[in-house]
Amino acid sequence: MKKSKADPKGVLTGSHFMDGDYALAEGALAAGCRFFGGYPITPSTETAERFSERIPVVGGVFIQMEDELGSIASLIGAAWGGLKAMTVTSGPGFSLMQENIGLACMLETPLVIANVQRGGPSTGLPTLTSQQDMMQARWGSHGDYEIIALSPDSPQECFDMTIKAFNLSELFRVPVFVMTDECVGHMHEKVVIPPAEEIEIVERKWYKGPKDKYLPYKCDSDGIPFMVKTGQGYRFHITGLTHDERGYPLLNAECQKINVQHLIDKIKNNADKIIEMEEEQIDGAEVIVLSYGITSRVAFRAVQQARKEGIKTGTIRLITVWPFPEKKIEELAKKVKAIVVPEINAGQVFLEVDRCSRNKCKVVSVPHLGGWVHNPDDIFKAIKEAVK
Amino acid sequence: MTEKKQPQRNPVERILRMDRMPHIWCPGCGIGTVVTSFAEALRKEETDLDNIVVVSGIGCTGRVAGYMKLDSFHTTHGRAIPFATGLKLANPKTKIVVFSGDGDIAGIGGNHLIHAARRNMDMLVILVNNFNYAMTGGQVAATTPIDANASTAPFGNFEYPFNLPHLVASAGGTYIARWTALHLRRVTKSIQEALHRRGFSFIEVITPCTTLYARRNRLGDGLNLLKYYYDNSEIQHNADTKDLDITYQGKLIVGKFVDKEKPTFLDAMNQHLSKVLGDKYTPYGEVK
Amino acid sequence: MTEIRFSGYGGQGIIRCALIGGKALSIYGGKFSTMNQSFGPEARGGACSSQLIVSDERVLYPYITRPDILVSMSQEAYEKYQNELKDNGLLITDTDLVKPKTERKNITHYSVPATRFAEELGNRIIANLVMMGFFTAVTKITTPDVMKKALPGLVPDRFLDLNKKAFDKGYEYGLEVLKEKTQ
C-alpha cells in the first residue's frame, strides 16, 4: 500500500459551518477526487452543486450526466482513465446505478458513491430521511460480490468518511458507499478540515512492470491486482464477463469460481482490517443498543434514560456497516440479554444482527419507516421491554 | 515498412488480439469486415495505437473490444458511451472509439447516444446495424425495418425504426456517415477521416446478420445481402438526413452527411470557465 | 442546551438567521450547534422556519422538540409555532408584523420593529440582521462580535457593512429594551 499526503489544492483547511452534502464533496476533493459524474436527485443535489463549483478550480472535471445509469458508467470510465471518481445519489438513482455497480465490482474499479438516503420505495419521500437502502447497498446488483459501506452520523463524518471511502476503494479496488441520509445531508454543523499534510491518502496500486507482461487480474501477494490507466501502451483488455488473469472472457464454472471467489475473499478476508465501530459501556451490559448513522445520535437519548433507570445499557455504533461485524455480534450475543436495533427502515441491519446472534440472545428491531428520526421514547420502551 | 517484409502475415495482426482467434461471429456475418476496416484505417493513418481506446457494450458487435489489441473495454449493455465519456474526460489525450451494435447504442443506450452527441463529446462511435438483436436470437430492434420478421415480431414488425443519422444529426453530431458492409473502402476512409475529427463522430455500417435476420426473412446468405446492398444502395453525400429512413429491402442511401466543426465538450468547458473564472481557472486536460 | 426556532415567511432570511447563529456559536463562540431547516411539504406555503440547537456538549438528537426561544417575523409563522414554545420560554417578534393574539402568561416576550428599522437603513432585506442583533442582545447567547464574525460568506461581500449596521441597530435596541425592563 502506497500512502501519501493530500494534495493541498483540494483541501479547504479550516473550520466551516457546513451541511453533510457539502462535506461529502469536500471530503472527496481532499481525498484527491478529480472526477464527478452525477445526476440531480433530492436530497443529494447539494453535493453535486458543490462539486460543480469547486472541482473546476482544483483541476478536475464535473459532468452532469443524462441519468444515473450514465453517471456510474462515467465513473468507471474515469477511474480507468486514471482519476479518482465519485458520484452522489439517493434511493431512485441508487436503484438505477445497481447495474454498473456490478460492473465496477467485476472490473475491480475503485470509486465512491454517496447515497443520501430518503424514504422509499419508489419516489417515496424525496425530502425526508430514511435508512432504507442499507440492504440494497449490500445486495443491490445481481450476482455474488462484496462491497464496503460506511455510515456517517454528522457533517464532520461525511467529510472524514468520504476520505476513508476513497482510501478503502483504492486499497481493495472496490466501490465504496457512503450511506448517509437526508437528516445528516441537510444538517449544518461545524466541520473541521485539517491541513493537507495531516490527511493520509492511499494511492492507486499502479503497475510498473514491463508493458507486454501486464495481466490486469493477476493478484499481487496482498490479493489485490495492479491497475493501469488508458493511453500508456499496455493495450489491456477488460470485460464484465467472467474473466481470467489476462482479463479475457472465460465462460465456465472453474473460472467463475476463481473470479467470483476472489471478489468475495478480498473483502471477507480483510474484514477485520476494514470494520470500524464505536462501543461504549459494553462490559457488563445487559442490553446493547446497536445503531448507525443518524439513528445512533437519536438512540443515545434513550440510552441515557435507560441508564438513569438502572438498566445496564451498552452501545455499538457501526461505522462500517458492510462488511458486517459478524464475529463481534456472535461474541456479544453470548454475553448480553438482548440487542436492540433501531434503524429508519423496517428492520434491515436487524436481520444481520439476528443472524449473527445465533439465538444466543434476544434481538429486537425498532423499526421506523422513514420521514423522520425515531422518537427516543420508542427506543427506550424497546430497551425496557428487552431486559424484562 | 516492416509489414511488407513479412507478406505471409496479415498487416492488421498487430492491431488484433490473435491469441483470441477464432472469433465468435457466424459465417457471413458483417461485423468482422467492419473490424477489418477499422484496423485498416488505424494502419493507414499510422495512428499511435497506444492512444486508441475501444469501448464496446453488449451484443455481437459488443465483442469487438475483446478482439482489438488496444486498450479495450467490454462494458455493460447500452453504457459504452457514458463509460467512454468518463474515459475521455479523465484522460483527454486518448482517442476514444465506441464500437457496438444498434441494439446496444440506439436501443438500450439511446439516451446516452443523443446526449453525447448533444455535448459534442469527443469520440468516434461506430455503430454496426444488423437490424436485430442478434446475440439473444434475433429479436425486433429499434432499427428493424417495418414488415421485417423477428423472433419477437413473428408476424412482422410494425414499429417505426430509427433513422440513425438523422437522430444523431438532430442531437448535434459533427461527423455523420452511413455505409454498408459492401462499402469496405468507404468505411475505412470514413473511419480515417473521423479519427482526425474532434467532436462527436458517428458512422453507421449496415451489415448482414445471416444466421438470424436473413434466415428468418428468407433473404439468403451473406452474399445475397451484399447483392441487395449493391443493387439498392445509393451514395448521396450531404443528403438531408431526414430522407434517410430505411424500409424493408428498400433503397439504402449511404454517404457522408455531416462534417462540420464546433467546440467539443472539453473545448466549450475550458473556453467558458476561462472566460468566467479568469486566472482562477487552469484549462483542463488540453490536448496539444 | 438551548433550542431555537426562527420563523417567518420565505424571503425574509429566516434560514440565514440560523446559519449565522449556528456558524457564530460553533466556530467562534466555543459552543456546539446543529442547524436544520424544513425541506419538503412543510417548507412550502407561507411559513418558513429554521432550527438551531446550541449546547455546551455535542448535540445528539438533531431536531428541536420544544424550543426555548421562538423568533417570529410573520403572523402566520407566529400562529403556527407559538404553541410549541416551552413554558418560561422566550418569544421574539417583529413589532409591526406580529400581533400576539392571547398573551401567554408564562413566557417572556420581546419585540423589535426589525423590518421598519431595515427600511430606515435603506433595505428591508436586512430585517433579519436587525433581528439577529436584537436576538443577541436579549438572549445574551453570545457577544455581538462573535455573531458578526460569522457574517462574511453568509451575506454578500458588498453588503457586509450594511448588514453589520443592521445588526448593530438591532443590538442597541435590544439593550435599550432590556434596560427599560429592569427599570
Chain C positions with Cβ closer than 8 Å to A: 18-19, 22-23, 26-27, 32-37, 39-41, 43, 59-63, 150
Quick check: A215 contacting B, CB < 8 Å? no
Q: Kind and range of the H or E element at B202?
A: strand B200-206
Domain that holds residue B229: 19-279
DSSP string covering A93-131: HHHHHHHHHHHHHHHT--EEEEEEEEE-STT-EEEEE--
Q: Do residues C118 and C125 touch, judged by C-beta distance below 8 A?
A: yes
pLDDT digits (tens, 9 = 90+) for A236-264: 999 999 999 999 999 999 999 999 999 99
Q: Do residues A317 and A292 touch, judged by C-beta distance below 8 A?
A: yes
Quick check: A245 contacting B, CB < 8 Å? no
B8 located within any domain = no
Quick check: A53 contacting B, CB < 8 Å? no
- Angle at which helix A294-308 crosses helix A376-387, to 10 degrees, equals 50
Chains A and B touch (3+ CB pairs under 8 A): yes
Strands (E), chain A: 3-5, 14-19, 33-38, 61-64, 84-89, 111-119, 125-129, 148-150, 175-181, 188-193, 200-202, 237-239, 277-280, 287-292, 313-318, 320-322, 338-343, 362-367
Q: Could you list the pLDDT tens digit for every one of the 388 residues in chain A? A: 889 999 999 999 999 999 999 999 999 999 999 999 999 999 999 999 999 999 999 999 999 999 999 999 999 999 999 999 999 999 999 999 999 999 999 999 999 999 999 999 999 999 999 999 999 999 999 999 999 999 999 999 999 999 999 999 999 999 999 999 999 999 999 999 999 999 999 999 999 999 999 999 999 999 999 999 999 999 999 999 999 999 999 999 999 999 999 999 999 999 999 999 999 999 999 999 999 999 999 999 999 999 999 999 999 999 999 999 999 999 999 999 999 999 999 999 999 999 999 999 999 999 999 999 999 999 999 999 999 8
- Rounded distance between C-alpha atoms, residue C115 and residue B43, angstroms: 75
Q: What is the DSSP letter of B60?
A: T
ipTM over 0.95: yes
- Chain A residue with CA closest to C60: the answer is A297
| Count of beta carbons in the 10 Å neighbourhood of residue B67 | 25
For B164, the grid coordinates are 440513425
Cβ–Cβ gap A186/C39 under 8 Å: yes
Amino acid in the structure at residue B281: Y
pLDDT digits (tens, 9 = 90+) for B16-43: 999 999 999 999 999 999 999 999 999 9
B97 located within any domain = yes
- Rounded distance between C-alpha atoms, residue A18 and residue A24, angstroms: 10
Cβ–Cβ gap C33/A43 under 8 Å: no
Residues of A in Cβ contact (< 8 Å) with C26: 17, 189-190
Cβ–Cβ gap A376/C61 under 8 Å: yes
User: In DSSP terms, which residues pair with A168 in a beta bridge?
Assistant: none
- Chain A residue with CA closest to B70: the answer is A235
Q: Do residues C49 and C69 touch, judged by C-beta distance below 8 A?
A: no
B181 located within any domain = yes
Cβ–Cβ gap C19/A17 under 8 Å: yes
**pLDDT above 90 coverage of chain B, percent:** 93
Kindly list the distances between the CA atom of residue B36 and the CA atoms of A193, B11, B42, B107, in Å, as whole numbers in the listed order.
55, 11, 10, 25
Test the C interface: residue of A12, A13, A15, A17 with most C CBs within 10 Å: A17
Q: Which chains touch A (3 or more CB pairs under 8 A)?
A: B, C
Q: Kind and range of the H or E element at B205?
A: strand B200-206
Q: At which residue does the C-alpha cell 425526508 appear? A: A128
Test the B interface: residue of A54, A235, A245 with most B CBs within 10 Å: A235
Q: Which chains touch C (3 or more CB pairs under 8 A)?
A: A
Q: What is the DSSP letter of B133?
A: B
Cβ–Cβ gap A188/C19 under 8 Å: yes
The pLDDT score that the predictor gives to residue B3 is 52
Test the A interface: residue of C3, C38, C39 with most A CBs within 10 Å: C39
The closest CB to that of A77, out of B87, B277, B285, belongs to B87
User: In DSSP terms, which residues pair with C55 in a beta bridge?
Assistant: C32
The closest CB to that of A300, out of C39, C43, C60, belongs to C60
The closest CB to that of A127, out of C40, C60, C61, belongs to C40
Closest among A185, A164, A162 to A87, alpha carbons compared? A162
For B93, the grid coordinates are 489525450
Topology adopted by domain A3-202: Rossmann fold (3.40.50)
Q: At which residue does the C-alpha cell 457514458 appear? A: B82
B9 located within any domain = no
The CATH superfamily holding the domain C2-182 is: Pyruvate-ferredoxin oxidoreductase, PFOR, domain III (3.40.920.10)
pLDDT digits (tens, 9 = 90+) for B274-288: 999 999 999 999 754
The pLDDT score that the predictor gives to residue A312 is 98
DSSP string covering A286-302: SEEEEEETHHHHHHHHH
- Angle at which helix B31-44 crosses helix B184-196, to 10 degrees, equals 50
Cβ–Cβ gap C23/A298 under 8 Å: no
Q: What is the DSSP letter of B193?
A: H
The closest CB to that of A231, out of B71, B269, B280, belongs to B71
Closest among C126, A43, A69, A249 to B81, alpha carbons compared? A69
The span from the first CA to the last CA of chain C, in angstroms, equals 29
Q: Do residues C9 and C46 touch, judged by C-beta distance below 8 A?
A: yes
- Compute and round to an integer the Cα radius of gyration of chain C: 15
- Rounded distance between C-alpha atoms, residue B179 and residue B204, angstroms: 6
The pLDDT score that the predictor gives to residue C182 is 80
Residue B163 sits in a domain whose CATH number is 3.40.50.970
Looking at the domain covering A277-387, what would its CATH class be? Answer: alpha beta
Strands (E), chain C: 2-9, 32-37, 47-55, 69-72, 90-94, 108-112
Cβ–Cβ gap C35/A17 under 8 Å: yes
Q: Do residues A350 and A343 touch, judged by C-beta distance below 8 A?
A: yes
DSSP string covering A194-234: --GGG-EEEPP-B--S-GGG--TT-B-TTS-B-B--TTSS-
Lowest mean pLDDT among A352-356, B9-13, B197-201: B9-13
Looking at the complex, report in whole angstroms how far the Cα of residue C56 sits from the nearest Cα belonging to chain A: 14
C138 — alpha (psi -120 to 50), left (phi > 0) or beta? alpha
- Rounded distance between C-alpha atoms, residue B194 and residue A202, angstroms: 40
Residues of C in Cβ contact (< 8 Å) with A379: none
Looking at the complex, report in whole angstroms how far the Cα of residue B212 sits from the nearest Cα belonging to chain A: 23
Cβ–Cβ gap B88/A77 under 8 Å: yes
**Mean pLDDT, rounded, for B257-282:** 97
Residues of chain A with CATH 3.40.50.970: 3-202
Kindly list the distances between the CA atom of residue A187 and the CA atoms of A12, A116, C16, C37, C178, in Å, as whole numbers in the listed order.
19, 12, 14, 8, 33
Residues of chain A with CATH 3.40.50.920: 277-387
B2 located within any domain = no
pLDDT digits (tens, 9 = 90+) for A353-368: 999 999 999 999 999 9
Say yes or no to pLDDT of B1 above 50: no
Looking at the complex, report in whole angstroms how far the Cα of residue C100 sits from the nearest Cα belonging to chain A: 30
Residues 167-196 of A with CB under 8 A from C: 182-184, 186-190
Q: Kind and range of the H or E element at B97?
A: strand B95-101
- Chain C residue with CA closest to A15: the answer is C27
What stretches in chain C show pLDDT beneath 70?
39-45
Residues of A in Cβ contact (< 8 Å) with B75: 73, 76, 103, 240
Amino acid in the structure at residue B175: Y
pLDDT digits (tens, 9 = 90+) for B49-69: 999 999 999 999 999 999 999
B126 located within any domain = yes
Q: Do residues C146 and A17 touch, judged by C-beta distance below 8 A?
A: no
Q: Do residues B73 and A74 touch, judged by C-beta distance below 8 A?
A: no
- Rounded distance between C-alpha atoms, residue C92 and residue C71, angstroms: 5
| Count of beta carbons in the 10 Å neighbourhood of residue A375 | 15
**Mean pLDDT, rounded, for B216-226:** 95
Residues of B in Cβ contact (< 8 Å) with A78: 86-87, 89-90
The pLDDT score that the predictor gives to residue B288 is 44
The pLDDT score that the predictor gives to residue C183 is 74
Residues 100-159 of A with CB under 8 A from C: 125-128
Sheet holding B175-180, edge to edge: A237-239, B71-74, B52-56, B95-101, B123-129, B200-206, B175-180, B252-259, B233-235
